[in-house]
Chains A and B, each alone.
Chain A
């Protein structure tokens, strides 16, 4: 097993952990989205590492990364759409104040 792969995987794990921490601990919608981006970034690192060190001959591995970049873009678009709508309606995007979905 290559050290390079391990390094990349640890980087991915660290980014994932930081992302989870951010997504859970932030009160602001935009900051939460940043956390989610970091989580996705962690996944991306792992995918590239797997492609490079395990199956460099299969381009589908790279394709997966493209899909994740797309997912990130979608997440941004929808997240900001919601954020703008909420900001217009309530004047803030603090998620502590957003409990309309309470059961």
Chain B
């Protein structure tokens, strides 16, 4: 059992475990931070799969994102101590079945498909970063720029949806 296999398995397990915790805890902040650690574990898993840039990026992005998610949880759920027990689920059976079926189906595909031989040689991290950069601003530029424009649009749209309508009177009123 190689070190890589161990780390992939370990971080994968951690990611799944934290993922399950997300929906098992009653505290909103815990649930958000569990998601954070799940994503961080994924980032670590990427690192152990020698995708250094992606791993670091994942760790960085998700920490910010999930922290923001945490504050929204607190804002919207008004769960004071975080430990009040209240059920916030529905159609549990169906969800459970759907989750299990999709898991089993995906695992079945993973196990029974013929993936061919695994590649052993990977470009080193610096080379990967260079390649990725050239890919982003070369062949895949259109896709990447489209994604950029889309996220800008989403930012503007989200702000526009969320912003409080300010009338002229209370703009100067307070």
Contact = CB atoms under 8 A, between A and B. Distances in A.
Task: Check A-B contact in the complex, CB < 8 A.
Answer: yes
Given A13-B110, A55-B119, A76 B151 contact: no
B107 A10 contact: yes
Interface in A1-52: 1-22, 24-31, 33-35, 37-38, 41, 44-45, 48-49, 51-52
B20 interface: yes
A60 to B, nearest CB: 6
A54 interface: yes
Contact of B90 (A3, A25, A57, A93): A25
A13 B9 CA distance: 13
Interface string B37-59: 01100100110011101100110
B83 interface: no
A22 B151 CA distance: 25
A70 to B, nearest CB: 5
B150 A15 contact: no
A60 B45 contact: no
A18 B20 contact: yes
Interface residues of B, number: 86
Contact of B136 (A14, A66, A77): A66
B158 interface: yes
**Leading 8 A-B pairs by shortest Cβ distance:** A17-B103, A81-B158, A21-B99, A11-B12, A13-B106, A2-B118, A25-B95, A24-B95
Given A28-B88, A33-B69, A80-B68, 8 more contacts: A4-B4, A18-B23, A24-B95, A48-B45, A48-B54, A63-B140, A70-B150, A84-B161
Interface of B: 2, 4-5, 8-9, 12-13, 15-16, 19-20, 22-23, 31-32, 35, 38-39, 42, 45-46, 49-51, 53-54, 57-58, 61, 65, 68-69, 72-73, 75-77, 88-92, 94-96, 98-100, 102-103, 106-107, 110-111, 114-119, 121-123, 128, 131-132, 134-136, 139-140, 143-144, 147-148, 150-151, 154-155, 157-162, 164
